[in-house]
Amino acid sequence: MSARKESKKTRSPGRVPGQPSGRALGFAAAREPWLATGARMIVHGVTAAVFSWPLTVPEAVVAAAVGSALGALSARFVAASKLRLGAILGFGVAGLFAVFFIGGLWGRTDIAAQALGPGQALRVGDALEFSLAAFVLSTTLRAVTLRRAALSAIEVAFIALAFGQLVVAHQDGAINRPFEIADPIISGGSDPTIALMIIGGVAAAVVILLLLSERNIVRGVFHLGAVALLLVFGLFVVGLMPEATVPETGGGLGLRGDDGSEEQRRQEQAGRRNNEQLEFRDNYDNAQNRVPVGVVLLHDDYSSPTGVYYLRQGAFSQYNGRRLVAATRADVDRDIARGFPTSPTPITDAPDESFFRGSIETTVALLATHNRPFALEAPVELRPEPNPNPRRFKRLYRARSAVLIADHISMLGLPVGDAMWSDEVLRHYTEAPPDPRYRELAERIIIGLPEDLRDDPVARALSVTQYLSEEGTYSLRSRHADADDPTGSFLFGDLTGYCVHFSHAATYLMRTLGIPARVATGYAVDEASRQGGSAILVSGQASHAWPEVYVDGVGWVVMDVAPQTVLSAPPGPPDPDLQRLLAELVRGQQPLPIDGEAAIDLGGAVRDALLWVGRGLGVLALVAFVFVVLGRLWRRSAALFAGDAASRVVYRAALDSLSAVGIRRDYGESREAFARRVEGLVPSFGPLTGGHVAAHFGASTDAGEVGAADPRALFRDVRRELRAAVPRRRRVLAILSPWTWLFSR
């Protein structure tokens, strides 16, 4: 048979000449540096522990971490096997089903319960199931990524999922979630935000460690050390990091400063930014305003006659030809607090206690920066309060309010306005757009009143709010903002808008009827949100604008519009646990443990973590040093006792000697080319290389014919030549650097 035919016969079918086989690729994957494998074991172990923490008992969490780490180790050998990628995936899926079957079988049998007791049997079963599932999953995932490096994104996604599901419940300011983390920390008087920052730091470190695991052992050591240092640094500084802040936006109601309108941007550029403005917006998005902005504690039981707690902060009563703005006159709206109190501060023109109003004291804790204080309408006095938790609360103050205790029906027959007002003040509160349609509509509305009430101003105001409630449609999506008169576009158009539209429309209609009215802004919280407690949790979604009418002897009275047709869902009730927690923090109390859980001292936990991290790093450094020293001694001594493998181990020892003085083979450089390059310095290394290659391939090489030369004698010659060619200082440094053999190639 000819050589050509023999070549065709022995060539594997389907193989491209020069292309490595699947088995070769598998073994190449198995040649991943052991340090990189160790890093992957840490990554998978931590990820499995984080993922299983909220799901099972601590013993199972530890078992899952160990199982996942061992799975990452076993993947090294699975990837080097002859199994195809599809087979690996198939075995992984089958293994998971087998694990779940074993777990179910364990729970259905009585043998374990009788032998261990019911409680211990459940714990052992969970540990067994989680460890096996983690082992199978990590083995499959890691083996697949070793075979196909492009699939490493799956590992990153899995880690992101594990850490994300742990802290996703903390969104929107819910500092009491997730319960598994927050409850014991809060019970110990600490802030769970710090714990979540630590979790985020660990997650970042794990992802970095995953992405930076290198097949090159040098880069792997460097990256592992860098990540460890970053993690320790993060643990040290996490307590100094600033609190995550609530977005400084009042949603177009001038409560906390807004940042959306073109008009405000122009004013800011001109140096005249005014954060206290009512804005008409066509697309009012309050989805991001679910974060709590304040907590109000009631010191006495109070039930609002309207079923809603109105927390007034600002008022808009001056008509500027297009809308209502904050008054520029000094003799109006004096019942609005101008700033936060630094001492007990009485409110000018506050109403007195009467048949219609009662006194109640509240404590207000702000979680977000506001332009001015808010309080239950109508505040009589404000005074500062000590802040028990400055990291959590921006400001605390106490408010005494003369709140309404009578309903609107009891005010029928009372006059509106104040006899002490000047004509200018009365005109200020009754000025409306000159459009005659406002007056015409207002007259049509009051026709529906009984004859004996048509001249009653309170009845007229109530009829306006009733009309808008019945005819209007509440929606955060409208098309009136660009009109010359946005309120007219709303009122005489589709009657679709939100609180700014309704409050302006009601105020204008009331003013055309001679009723002093204004628009107030703040927060409106349904009384049911108290849920039987004494705290009112205020979120950005509760921001509101409503019309108010001045009733003689009562003061400014809320006459809100409640549209019966609603296209945009109202905000849901607050989290009762979060409401209770924040109330306790405002009171300066240490929250009680929940369900008998032990309290966690977060500061002590961080100190202990730092101590254990330091000890762990020290132990790792010591183990690594011992490993390096013993490795060097073993590689050198192996050359003295090698038998049939003398050429290989002696050649390896010679490479170590060259590496110790900085002479190393370049990437892609053949052994023979390396020998020729160093021939002038160590001539004996050429014959030693030739003997090593000949022993492995059974033929002569371009390094020259190799006879029966003793490799040990050649090694002694190499060392003698190095001593003669290399300065003593460099040789001493080589002795003091036992890790240089790691760089041998």
pLDDT at 430 over 80: yes
Question: What is the pLDDT at residue 390?
Answer: 79
**313 in the same domain as 212:** no
Question: What is the pLDDT at residue 180?
Answer: 55
Q: Which of 630, 636, 631 is nearest to 655 (CA)?
A: 636
529, 548, 568 - which closes a domain: 568
Measured in whole angstroms, the distance separating CA 241 from the mean position of its chain's CA atoms is: 15
pLDDT at 639 over 70: no
The lowest-confidence range among 13-27, 175-189, 676-690 is: 13-27
Q: How far are the Cα atoms of 181, 186, 448, 581 from residue 598, in angstroms, in the given order?
A: 12, 10, 65, 17
Task: Tell me, yes or no, whether 451 lies in a domain.
Answer: yes
Question: What is the pLDDT at residue 104?
Answer: 74
pLDDT at 240 over 50: no
> Structurally, how many domains does the chain consist of?
3
Reported as type and span, the H/E element at residue 334 is none
What is the extent of the structural domain holding 110?
20-244
pLDDT at 268 over 60: no
**184 in the same domain as 51:** yes
**201 in the same domain as 340:** no
Predicted confidence (pLDDT) per residue in 442-475, tens digit:
999 999 899 889 999 999 999 999 999 999 999 8
DSSP, collapsed to helix, strand or coil, labels residue 546 as strand
**221 in the same domain as 167:** yes
Question: What is the pLDDT at residue 275?
Answer: 44
Task: Please give the share of the chain, as a percent, with pLDDT higher than 90.
Answer: 25
Diameter of the chain by CA atoms? 129
DSSP, collapsed to helix, strand or coil, labels residue 332 as coil
Tell me how far apart the alpha carbons of residues 359 and 104 are, in angstroms, rounded to a whole number: 63
* 3-state SS record for 6-24: HHHHHCCCCCCCCCCCHHH
Bridge-based pairing state of the strands 345-346 and 379-384: antiparallel
DSSP, collapsed to helix, strand or coil, labels residue 434 as coil
Task: Tell me, yes or no, whether 287 lies in a domain.
Answer: no
Question: What is the pLDDT at residue 52?
Answer: 79
Please, what is the average pLDDT of the chain?
Answer: 76
* 3-state SS record for 58-114: HHHHHHHHHHHHHHHHHHHHHHCCCCCHHHHHHHHHHHHHHHHHHHHHHHHCCHHHH
Task: Tell me, yes or no, whether 609 lies in a domain.
Answer: no
pLDDT at 224 over 80: no
Highest mean pLDDT among 122-136, 345-359, 724-738: 345-359
Predicted confidence (pLDDT) per residue in 656-675, tens digit:
888 888 888 887 788 888 88
**469 in the same domain as 403:** yes
Question: What is the pLDDT at residue 260?
Answer: 42
Task: Tell me, yes or no, whether 418 lies in a domain.
Answer: yes
**41 in the same domain as 73:** yes
Evaluated on CA atoms 552, 553, 556, 559, the torsion sign reads: negative
The lowest-confidence range among 49-63, 243-257, 302-316, 639-653 is: 243-257
**230 in the same domain as 302:** no
568, 594, 622 - which closes a domain: 568
Pair of tokens at residue 623 = 């183990």
**207 in the same domain as 268:** no
Sorting pLDDT into bands at 50, 70 and 90, what band is 705?
very low
Tell me how far apart the alpha carbons of residues 591 and 614 are, in angstroms, rounded to a whole number: 32
pLDDT at 628 over 50: yes
Task: Tell me, yes or no, whether 486 lies in a domain.
Answer: yes
Task: Tell me, yes or no, whether 285 lies in a domain.
Answer: no
Task: Tell me, yes or no, whether 281 lies in a domain.
Answer: no
| E strands, 387-479, in order | 395-404, 473-474
Tell me how far apart the alpha carbons of residues 333 and 135 are, in angstroms, rounded to a whole number: 70
Task: Please give the share of the chain, as a percent, with pLDDT higher than 70.
Answer: 69
Q: State mean pLDDT over 403-423.
A: 93
Tell me how far apart the alpha carbons of residues 258 and 266 are, in angstroms, rounded to a whole number: 13
Sorting pLDDT into bands at 50, 70 and 90, what band is 519?
very high
**183 in the same domain as 49:** yes
Whether the Cβ atoms of residue 189 and residue 179 lie closer than 8 Å to each other: no
**361 in the same domain as 504:** yes
Q: State mean pLDDT over 397-402.
A: 94
Instruction: Note if the pTM is more than 0.85.
Output: no
Q: How far are the Cα atoms of 512, 547, 627, 711 from residue 413, in angstroms, in the given order?
A: 19, 20, 95, 118
Question: What is the pLDDT at residue 579?
Answer: 77
Please give the DSSP secondary-structure letter assigned to residue 640: H
**392 in the same domain as 355:** yes
**268 in the same domain as 217:** no
Tell me how far apart the alpha carbons of residues 659 and 690 are, in angstroms, rounded to a whole number: 19
Instruction: Give the burial class of 635: count Cβ atoms within 10 A of its Cβ; 0-12 exposed, 13-18 middle, 19 or more buried.
Output: middle
568, 587, 616 - which closes a domain: 568
Task: Tell me, yes or no, whether 591 lies in a domain.
Answer: no
DSSP, collapsed to helix, strand or coil, labels residue 191 as coil
Q: State mean pLDDT over 481-499.
A: 91
Q: What is the CATH number of the domain that holds 303?
A: 3.10.620.30
The lowest-confidence range among 26-30, 372-376, 438-442 is: 26-30
The lowest-confidence range among 231-245, 253-267, 683-697 is: 231-245
pLDDT at 237 over 50: no
Whether the Cβ atoms of residue 220 and residue 33 lie closer than 8 Å to each other: yes
Cβ partners under 8 Å of residue 129, min gap 6: 60, 99, 100, 102, 103, 106
